[in-house]
Amino acid sequence: MKNIPELFGSMVFNDEVMKERLPKDTYKALKRTIVEGRSLDKSIADVVANAMKDWAIEKGVTHFTHWFQPMTGVTAEKHESFITPDGDRGVIMEFSGKELVKGEPDASSFPSGGLRATFEARGYTAWDPTSYAFIKDDILCIPTAFCSYGGEALDKKTPLLRSMEALNIQAMRILKLFGNTTVRQVSTTVGPEQEYFLIDKDLYKKRKDLVYTGRTLFGATPPKGQELEDHYFGVLRPRVAAFMQELDEELWKLGVYAKTKHNEVAPAQHELAPIFTTTNIASDHNQLTMELMKRIADKHNLACLLHEKPFAGVNGSGKHNNWSMVTDTGLNLFEPGDSPQDNAQFLLFLCAVIKAVDEYQDLLRISAASAGNDHRLGANEAPPAIVSIFLGDELTGILKAIEEGSPYAQKQAEEMKIGVHTLPRFPKDTTDRNRTSPFAFTGNKFEFRMLGSTFSVSGPNIILNTIVAEELAQFADQLENAGNFTDALNILIRDVLKQHNRIIFNGNSYADSWPAEAEKRGLLNLKTTPDALKHFIDEKNITLFTRHKIFTKAELLSRYEILMDNYAKVIDIETKTMVRMLRKNIIPSVCSYIRDLAATAASKQNILRELPCETEKSLITMMSGLLDDLYQYSEELEAVLRKTRTYEDIGTRAAAYAYDVFPAMQKLREAVDKTEIHCAKEYWPYPTYGEMLFSV
């Protein structure tokens, strides 16, 4: 049995290691920089770098890298060794403060939207000292932000850090209004639940679609799928258990609080959830988790699929973003308190979220928009593309009473006055928790469930932090100038509830009636990524992001470009892969089958002219009809693809991929899946769904 407490964080240059290895003054100065978010003094950086290097070398490390999160969706690294000529034909191992604090990777090969044209190609990475350095694969990794030389963000970490700061500033204003003088900082916490599939690696390698696009573009539904519901929380198979154990250990070494693991609803689907932590660290850790999942699966001759919809007809994979706000004194701001004062504060923060989610439904939807996730949102498994909040009947009842100035459900004789009365107690974690809601209050945190499994959690948390910061800013503006704070607070909360109660929906979001009801309420239903993304650069959103200094207008436009372009490229690659698989393997396979059927009939008749060949004839007729369909639909698909590629404007092009190309892909897919069912096994060139889903 391994000593887990000793193992935990053993590959992290964490607080404990710093305390032990840094001179007292340096340690204190570093801590101060971290807390105050200032840049690091050169003399301190040198000492820290040196200690970091010594620690790493003791663990067999020879190289370091700035580890960053460009707009590609995966992390990037550029390895450099510690060696420095010693002036005498030998080398010494060196790592300077300058190398720790700032790196200069070439930015020109990373997506930058329009930014590359306007600004220099060079970029730089800057250490985020709030996220500890760690050793992965014998490389010392320094978590960094990635910017252009002009200071424009080219990554996902920079705006995330900016949004955390924006929320901190506004939340502090509110806490001050409530007379809180001890809190010095408010940050956000995130616990991301991660879903994924594991299949046999040999089968994976035979599926070109999985290799090139991460999902199966063809594949008939197997006779058994998830209908028996026998996989959820089922006993782990030995290979999966071995994988999970190694994954846990490797994550623990990196200081990731991997906590729960279990089988999910679909066959071959699993989930991992860590204990929550500060948002930017949770985001780094989730990136590491996804990377390690892939690598460790490979060692176990498995393939880890992180795509949102690797298999049609069974559940896809999502990521639940559990989010809360916490003070440096350890107070969860979404924890309903016991005193009237605490409750008033809780209600105000709750109202900020309600107003934010209602006013910025579009941005939340955008934060979960991608070609992969379009297969889930709105399908019968994930929340729909409509954003709404679940608060539970109890809390909704209380809010309704406040809004109407009426007593709450006979439990209280008089009208509820915020800041004067305590909230009636309500059960925190009721068992009928609504799992269909895209945004659910779960007692002391919100669970945003729209994210796809491949997503970095940065995107959605940038949005969450920023929209809540905006509402808190508006509240603070109003309350700071109020004569009587309690009266003003009562009016404000009532007004917010009156104006934004349409966003609260406790019913079943999967129900067929919900879209119509949502439309009546005036809620947005942005079905595809291009539909959603075009709102990213709406005037109100540009105002929001620039006001809180999250994105400049140029950065926002560049991100719009990158996301739209990514959507178009993903569908383009999928289309090419589909056509290629069809021409190279599927059509020839069907031809072989037809040829052998014909040969069978011919040889039968050679032996005896009167032998009936009706079965062969009808099989040949059916297969050749299907073959014609395959050919025709692939020609049609290629024609729409050619047309789509001619649209200059990226928004128009992306929309054409969604509304013209995608349906043509679906049409072709249906024909292929039908062909697969009718084709004899030995001719079919690819592993089937049944083989892949039940392979481990």
Binding region for Mg ion (CB under 5 A)? 193, 320
User: Is position 308 an interface residue for ligand ADP (rule: CB under 6 A)?
Assistant: no
Closer residue to ligand ADP, CB minimum distance, 41 or 342: 342
Contact of residue 275 among ligand ADP, Mg ion, none (CB under 5-8 Å per partner type): ligand ADP
Contact of residue 289 among ligand ADP, Mg ion, none (CB under 5-8 Å per partner type): none
Beta-strand relationship, 439-441 and 389-390: parallel
The tokens describing 507, both together, are: 């019913």
**Cβ at position 193, least distance to Mg ion in Å:** 5
Segment interacting with ligand ADP, rule: CB under 6 A, options 321-329, 497-505, 524-532, 580-588: 321-329
Give me the residue label for tokens 């070398």.
57
Closer residue to Mg ion, CB minimum distance, 99 or 193: 193
**Cβ at position 130, least distance to ligand ADP in Å:** 17
**Cβ at position 262, least distance to ligand ADP in Å:** 9
Contact of residue 285 among ligand ADP, Mg ion, none (CB under 5-8 Å per partner type): none
**Cβ at position 232, least distance to ligand ADP in Å:** 12
- Residue 86 CA, chain-centre distance (Å), reads 46
Selection from 394, 444, 402, 438 nearest residue 420 by Cα? 402
Give the three-state DSSP class for 301.
Answer: coil
Contact of residue 444 among ligand ADP, Mg ion, none (CB under 5-8 Å per partner type): ligand ADP
- Residue 628 CA, chain-centre distance (Å), reads 41
Could you tell me the maximum CA-CA distance found in the chain, to the nearest angstrom? 105
Closer residue to ligand ADP, CB minimum distance, 256 or 581: 256
Residue nearest to ligand ADP (CB): 191
Selection from 141, 142, 147, 139 nearest residue 127 by Cα? 142
**Which residues, other chains included, contact 85 with Cβ-Cβ below 8 Å and sequence gap of 6+?**
91
Q: Which parts of 434-493 interact with ligand ADP (CB under 6 A)? A: 442, 444-445, 447
Q: How many CB atoms lie within 10 A of CB 481?
A: 8
Segment interacting with ligand ADP, rule: CB under 6 A, options 183-191, 295-303, 337-345, 416-424: 183-191
What is the rounded radius of gyration, in angstroms, for the C-alpha atoms of the chain?
Answer: 28
Are 64 and 139 in contact by the 8 Å Cβ rule? The answer is yes
Segment interacting with ligand ADP, rule: CB under 6 A, options 190-198, 211-219, 345-353, 664-672: 190-198
Question: ∠329-334-340 over CA atoms, to 5°?
Answer: 90
User: Is position 74 an interface residue for ligand ADP (rule: CB under 6 A)?
Assistant: no
- Residue 230 CA, chain-centre distance (Å), reads 27
Angle of helix 614-645 relative to helix 553-581, nearest 10 degrees?
160
Among 112, 322, 396, 644, contact with ligand ADP (rule: CB under 6 A): 322
**Which residues, other chains included, contact 20 with Cβ-Cβ below 8 Å and sequence gap of 6+?**
none
**Cβ at position 260, least distance to ligand ADP in Å:** 7
Contact of residue 624 among Mg ion, ligand ADP, none (CB under 5-8 Å per partner type): none
Question: ∠237-238-242 over CA atoms, to 5°?
Answer: 120
Closer residue to Mg ion, CB minimum distance, 129 or 192: 192
Contact of residue 311 among ligand ADP, Mg ion, none (CB under 5-8 Å per partner type): none
Question: ∠186-191-195 over CA atoms, to 5°?
Answer: 155
Contact of residue 191 among Mg ion, ligand ADP, none (CB under 5-8 Å per partner type): ligand ADP
Measured between alpha carbons, how far is 98 from 43 in angstroms, rounded to an integer? 10
Burial class (CB within 10 angstroms; exposed 0-12, middle 13-18, buried 19+) of 42: exposed
Segment interacting with ligand ADP, rule: CB under 6 A, options 78-86, 270-278, 359-367, 670-678: 270-278
Q: How many CB atoms lie within 10 A of CB 452?
A: 25
Contact of residue 189 among ligand ADP, Mg ion, none (CB under 5-8 Å per partner type): ligand ADP
Segment interacting with ligand ADP, rule: CB under 6 A, options 78-86, 135-143, 145-153, 269-277: 269-277
Measured between alpha carbons, how far is 573 from 579 in angstroms, rounded to an integer? 10
User: Is position 189 an interface residue for ligand ADP (rule: CB under 6 A)?
Assistant: yes
User: Is position 273 an interface residue for ligand ADP (rule: CB under 6 A)?
Assistant: yes
CA dist 297 → 201, 241, 262, 292, 426 (Å): 9, 11, 16, 8, 44
The tokens describing 639, both together, are: 């024609």
What is the phi/psi pair of residue 623, to 5°? -65, -35
Burial class (CB within 10 angstroms; exposed 0-12, middle 13-18, buried 19+) of 221: middle
Closer residue to Mg ion, CB minimum distance, 320 or 559: 320
User: Is position 275 an interface residue for ligand ADP (rule: CB under 6 A)?
Assistant: yes
Contact of residue 116 among Mg ion, ligand ADP, none (CB under 5-8 Å per partner type): none
Residue nearest to Mg ion (CB): 320
For the four alpha carbons of 115, 118, 121 and 122, in that order, the dihedral sign comes to negative
Closer residue to ligand ADP, CB minimum distance, 285 or 500: 285
Site string for ligand ADP, 328-367 (x = CB under 6 A): ----x-----------------------------------
**Cβ at position 271, least distance to Mg ion in Å:** 9
Number of residues that bind ligand ADP (CB under 6 A): 16
User: Is position 392 an interface residue for ligand ADP (rule: CB under 6 A)?
Assistant: no
**Cβ at position 441, least distance to Mg ion in Å:** 13
Q: Which residues bind ligand ADP (CB under 6 A)?
A: 189-191, 193, 273-276, 322-324, 332, 442, 444-445, 447
